[in-house]
Each structure stands twice: as C-alpha cells, then as structure tokens.
Structure 1
Amino acid sequence: MGVLEAERARRIAEAERRGAFASDGYLSVTAWLVHRLRVSGACAGRYLRWARALEAMPRTRQALADGDVTASATAVLVAAAESRPEPFGRSEAILVDAARTLPVRDLRRVVAYWRQVVDAAGAEDEAQRRFELRRLHVSPTLDGMVRVDGDLDPETGQALISALRAVLDAEVRATEDRRTFAQRRADALGEICRRYLDSADRPVVGGERPHVTVTVDLETLERRAGRRCELDDAGVITPEAARRLACDASVTRVITAGCSEPLDVGRRTPVVSPALRRALATRDGGCRFPGCERPQAWCDGHHIRHWADGGPTARANLVSLCRPHHRLIHRGFGVRMRDGTPVFIRPDGSPLEDRAPP
C-alpha cells in the first residue's frame, strides 16, 4: 500500500507541475483528480496535499516508496512537516527512522515531543488553540434518544477515559450480558452521572441539589390511564420506565387545579433510606438476579410490590437489582419473595434459579 501511495503522490505532483489538469479543461487539480480517479473531493484534496508535502520530504517519500513506512505513519510525518517545515527538514532522517520501527500511536508521541523541543512557544500556542476548540453538545433527538457529541481537551478527555475505565474495570460481566462494548461505555457514563447526582457534597442550585426529575401522573404509576410521563429535558418516557425510576427515588406530591395550575407541593420523601439501603447491602450483597455479580453500589432498591400500588418501603418488599436487571424486571420479568428469598420469574411464567445468598 505504501508503494502505491508513493507512486500516486509522485504522479500527481508531476501532473500539477506540467499543468495536465489545465490542458484537460479543469480549473483545479482537485477537480481533475475527482474525475480521473473517481474519488470524492475530500479524498482528492488529501491526495494533492500529500503530493505537495512529499515533494519537500525526500527521505519520507523514499521510505514510503520502499515500503519501509506505512501510509498511517506518513500521515503523521506529513502533518509534522506542514506544521514546522524548517525544523522538519533538519530532523527528517531521525523522524523517518522512528516511523520505520514504531507503532503509529508511539510515533505520534515522538512527534509531539519533537514539536515541543523545536518550538516550545509554538507548542504552547497549539495547545491553547486545541483547548479553545473544546465543545460538548447534549441534545434530545426526535426518536427519543439523547445525542452526545463533542471534542475535549486532553486533560478533560483523560479524566473521562479514566472514569469510564474505572467503572468498566470494576464491572463483573455476567454470562448472559450481551451488551456491545459501545453499550457498556454508554452504561458506564450513565453510572458516573448517577453516582455524582447521588453524592452528598454536590453544589446546591436554586435551593436544592441537582437531580433527575420525572413528571408523571399518579394514574400512570398505578398502571391506570394517565396523561403525562416525561423527563425534564430528555422528553417522553414509557410508563414502565417511570415506575422503574420511582422504585428507588424521592417523590414530591404536586396537587394541581385542572391540567396545569399547581395548588400544593408536598414534601419530598426518600423511598429507600440510607439505613434500609445498608440493610439491603447486608442481606443481598449485590444484585440478586441469578448469575449477576454486580456490587451493591451499582444497585437500586426494587419494590417487589410497587409503592404506587400500596407496596411498603420495607426490607421484606425490597430486593437489590443492578440497573440492567432492574430494567428487565420492568420489561416482563418478575420477582416475588418466598421465605425471605427472592424468586425470579421469566416472562413465560417459569422460575429462574437464584444464586445462593451471601
């Protein structure tokens, strides 16, 4: 592949010198390449950029033609030459030798250090430029999801990577866990956010600590025909999702006149108290779903008989479930207590064998 890349760059550079594109009636080399090579404009632009850069990079060009460096390594060297042309000319032999032996990831690190050595002030300016490009967009989509998109500066990006890695490394994957790695990362990000919202030392905003708010009719929680069931920012959710979130949450009563005028706002009451949560940790030792070994810190207190249906917030009516299995229970699976031991039921009514208690 490197040999082909080198030959293509050589021919494009030669065609540009001879003005072949103009003699064929094209107004630019890029347009000529798009037609002749049947590639996109972006791809043609990359080919032309390489051709022009390699003209001033004889050692890199020869190493690419000989197959000693890969196209990916050449891309790193081209970017280095474009950013610091004169210092690169003096250091090309050393950098090409590094490209011959190092993986691309390590070569990028070598080039980054090289930039700091040859132009310390420029490296600082470049770091500040990248920092100014940081961005993060979080937007609800029309199909009921929330899109997260952005670019983070290195320090923030590393903090996110380390936090995700910590959650993923602490996770014990059950045999029935069929989530993709991308899904596991998404779940880990949610776990990080929930743990922050659950922490006691969060800042107070508008008189209370930030939290996730679900607005739902009592009729919906009681599995009767309700009208409203939604999150503050992310939009409409299903009634069963609201019941799952209400299993282990704080509830505020709001009495309204008609459809929307609030008349009375009741006191928020914690559904599962810290003392009761500790009792569940002692009894369950983590998620009680058969085969799951996720720790107690990852678990909600699930009401076997939902509190909206009159179920008490008591140890005998609660079971620890990790959030993936909590979701399953609210999507067709069932659980009941038998002599103080939870018994899990498949959607077809057949029982699942439970793991031994701790």
Structure 2
Amino acid sequence: MSTATLDATVLPLPSPGSRAAVVLERAGEAVGEVADLPVEVLDERGLTDAVTTVARLRSQLQAVELALAAEAEQRRVAADAGDTGADAWLSRLTGERREQLRGGLRLARLLRERYRATARALGAGEIRLEQARVIVEGLEVSADDVPETLRVQAEELMIAKATGAATRTGVPMPPTGLRRAVRRVYGRLDADIAAMHLRRSVRRNHQRGVTKTWFTLHDNGDGTCAGRFCVPELHGQVLRTVLETLSAPRRFGRDGTGTPLVDASAGTETSGLGWCDKLGRAFCELLEHLPTDRLPRSVFTLMATIDLDSLRSGLNAAGVGTSTTGADLDAGEVRRLACEAGIVPAVLGGASVPLDLGRTRRLHTEKQRQALGLVHDSCAIASCDRPFAWTEIHHTHAWSAGGATDLANAVPLCWAHHRAVHDGRFDLIRHSASEWVLHRRRRC
C-alpha cells in the first residue's frame, strides 16, 4: 500500500501594519463613494446627519494620525530616514508645515502618555481636535503638581463639558468656553489646587498673548485696506467691547432729569448693514479719535476741578478726583495716573484764559474744550452716554453761516450724533440748559 504525501505551503499571516493599511484603504474607498453621491438630493435631516458623521470621522482620523505621529517619534524613525526630526519626517510624507506638525507632536505625546481618556474620546469621535487640544493644554499647566486621581477627575469633567454631557443645555461646549472652564476646573475638587491652577493659567494665558501678538495691514489699491492681527485676550475683549458699544447706540434713554427719550437718529446711518459692516464703521470711529499730533505717554488726561474758595482754603481736604469719563478716583489712584497723564488745572471763578474767540478762529481751542468739559460729562444729546472725551465740538450756528467760535455756539457731540446733525434729515433742538435732542424733519 502506497502512501501519498501532501506538500502544504504555509502562508504568512498579514502583519498588523498591513492590516491597518488595508483597513485605511477600505475607509478611503468608502469616503470616495460618499464623495460621488449627489448632495443635492439630501433633505435637511440627511444634510444634518452627514455633517455630524463627517465631523466624527474627522476626529477619529485625527486621533489615528496623532497616534501614528507619537509612535514614529518614540521609535525615532526620522533618524533612520535621514530626517532632522519627526516633524521633518512627517512634513516630507504629508506636505504639511513643520511648525504646525511640531505642535501636533507635542499634543500626540501628551495624549499617549498622560491624557488617555481624552485620546479615547477623540478616537471615538465624541470630541473635536481643538477641544482635545484645549483640555490637554489647560490641564498641563499644573499637571506636575496635581495628584493623578484629581487630574483624571478634572479631565473627565472637561470631556463631559466638551461632549455636552455636563452642560446645562446639553450642547457641546466650544473651545472658547472650554478655555475659560479649564482654568476653573478644580474649583469644586480642591480649593488650594484651584487657586494655584487658576493663577498659573492666567499667567500663562497672558504670556501666550504677549508672545503671539502681531499685526499686518495691506493696501488693496482700490480705496480700501485689509489686515489681520492677533492680540492678547484682554486687549481683544477691550476692543470688542468698545466696537460693540460704538456700533449699537441706544435708541431709548433718559435725559438729565430722568425723563424717557427716544433717539430718532439711532441706527439710521447703519440701517441695512450687517454686523461686520457695523463693526467696521465703529472701528473707523475709533481710529478717528486717536491723537493725530502726538502719541501720548498715557491714554489718561486728568482734569483737576476745584472752586476758588476750596483752592484758597487748601488742597489737603480734596481727596477725590474725577476723570473726564466721569469716574471717581481716590487720591492714591489719581497720584498713580498722574505719573504718566497730563494734568490740566481748571479753577472755577478765578482768572482764566480767553475762551471766546468770535470769528478769529474756525475751530474751537483745547481750552474751550476743557471749559465745555466742566459742563458736559458726555455727548450733549440727551440720553446719549458716550463720554465727553469721545465728542467733537459742533457749531450750533454754522461757522460758514456766520456763527462764532465761542462757548455759546459750541456743543459736544459724539461721532454718530455729529454725523446725524449734518445728515440733513434731523434738526438739533435744545432740550435743557445742557442737553439737546434730534428731531426728524417732516417731509415736504
């Protein structure tokens, strides 16, 4: 009896690396199929589902990309490939900028070594890459001085906020809100650590703002200029507050006696404009009120106002100062500001420089402006709260029509109301001894 022998060839099992490549290739093919679908046929629900699914898939792919980058850096594959670093190796393979990849490598390293919960949430598509970056950078500020169990609790809380599970509305918290929340994440966990973490976070935030501040401006050659800038958070908030205040004048207000008034001119010039357009107009107003003849050492100008009797009796009793914006300051604060600010004495009832110039000058002088500042602390339009420092002096009887450049013919108006006065659709009417109103003219 003969026996038959069988030759069996053992095929090698695919390596994990090749399996990963196959899976990624399949994912790419699936995405290609979706890209070929006509999005025009999708209804609103279909569009919503597609957008959220794409966002989740993007987060998952970014998590994979970060994990691959971290592994490449740990293995030092760049040295074997002749590249100067993992960022250069990745840049050569992907075509992305090394500077951008360098920041991604740090995030990838931290997700791998310390913030595994955040890495899992990103890999599952529950949070977005920028949210993960905010969580990691925010907690890393004091991670070396916080117990591991406490840091993990803080990380889980921030992930819950990022997904919406720990927000009041159930809506995922955007990166801007997360940055504020992560500074105070230890507030309910440990008071001492919370104070330390908040202090370090604010200091680091300030340092980042200073080091990353820049500004560019380009003349488009068509009558416009375009630019971009990056400033510290504090200055950005100040700028936003100023522009929003300037671009949103109040239609309803009260005069000096508390009587409700309606500003007929509010919003007429910017009606029909978008919010960005209004902010642009407000930025122009801000620029027009910058000093053109000099750059002051300080933005403050202190006017020390005192009556003649008090001046003669002695200055020691005067312990409070008032700025031109209406703020009351204690003596110590006045002395501090006076180190850099210009100080202008205004003595009521005593000798003063000539204030009425008649027809000898076209524009009101600085001394006249200072005198008006003693009567007005804001725009002369009743109900307008724009500070006096932002006003422009208007001739109530036009200089071109024979009006004199003196105090009796001077009224301080803010940028918006000054433009409204010259609009032609409004009449400037005296409302009280120091207040005026704008009335819309009747159409003939």
Specify which of 303, 306, 322 is matched with residue 395 of structure 2: 303
RMSD of the TM alignment (CA)? 5.4
| Percent identity of paired positions between Structure 1 and Structure 2 | 23
In the other structure, the counterpart of 2:268 is: 175
Cα deviation, 1:121-148, whole Å, max 9, x if unaligned, reads 34334445556778699x9x999x9x99
Aligned mates of 1:24, 1:7 — CA distance in 2: 22
Unaligned runs of 5+ in 1: 211-220, 223-242, 252-267, 287-292, 343-353
> Matched residues in 1 for 2:391 and 2:342: separation?
29
> For 1:206 and 1:319, how far apart are their aligned partners in 2?
24
- 1:74 equivalent among 119, 132, 142: 132
TM-score of the aligned structures, taking structure 1 as reference length: 0.55
Equivalent residue for 2:199?
A: 124
Counterparts of 2:374 and 2:135, CA distance in 1: 60
Contact 1:277-1:301 within 8 A present in 2 as well:
no
* Distance change >3 Å, CA 175–CA 25, structure 1 → 2: same
Match of 1:32 among 89, 92, 95: 89
Alpha-carbon distance, 1:92 to partner: 3.5
8 A contact 1:2–1:67 mirrored in 2: yes
The answer on 1:151 being equivalent to 2:214 is no
How much does 1:80 deviate?
A: 3.3
Amino acid at match of 1:208: V
Quick one: structure 1 residues 275 and 336, their matched pair in 2 at CA, closer, same or farther if it must change by over 3 Å? farther
Change (3 A) 1:16 1:302: same
Mapped to 2, the partners of 1:49 and 1:99 lie a distance apart of 21
| Cα distance, 1:175–1:162 mapped onto 2, change above 3 Å | closer
Question: Could you say if the C-alpha distance between residues 275 and 3 of structure 1 is closer, same or farther in structure 2, counting changes exceeding 3 Å?
Answer: closer
Match of 1:10 in 2: 67
State the one-letter code of the partner of 1:103. Answer: M
Distance in 1, matches of 2:419 and 2:236, equals: 30
Give CA deviations for 1:214-251 in whole Å, capped at 9, x if unaligned.
xxxxxxx98xxxxxxxxxxxxxxxxxxxx7xx3xx435
| Paired residues of 2:91 and 2:101 also in contact (CA < 8 A) | yes
2:397/2:403 contact within 8 Å kept:
yes
Q: How does 1:229-240 map to 2 (within 5 A)?
A: none
Partner-residue secondary structure (3-state), 2:185: helix
| Cα displacement (A) at 1:9 | 0.6
Cα distance change of structure 1 residues 14 and 206 upon mapping to structure 2, 3 Å threshold? closer
Q: Secondary structure at the match of 2:102?
A: helix
Q: Distance in 1 between matches of 2:70 and 2:283?
A: 46
Moved more, 320-329 or 112-121: 320-329
Structure with greater Cα Rg: 2
Distance 1:22 1:181, change over 3 A: farther
Which of 352, 355, 358 in structure 1 is aligned with 2:440? 355
CA distance in 1, matches of 2:196, 2:375: 58
Q: Which amino acid aligns with 1:108?
A: R
Task: Compute the displacement of 1:168 (Å).
Answer: 4.9
Paired with 1:14 and 1:135, the residues of 2 have a C-alpha distance of: 33
- 1:250 corresponding residue in structure 2: 365
Aligned residues: 278
User: Residue 92 of structure 1: which of 145, 151, 155 is its match?
Assistant: 155
Distance 1:148 1:186, change over 3 A: farther
The residue that corresponds to 2:185 in the other structure is: 114
Letter of the 2:123 counterpart: A
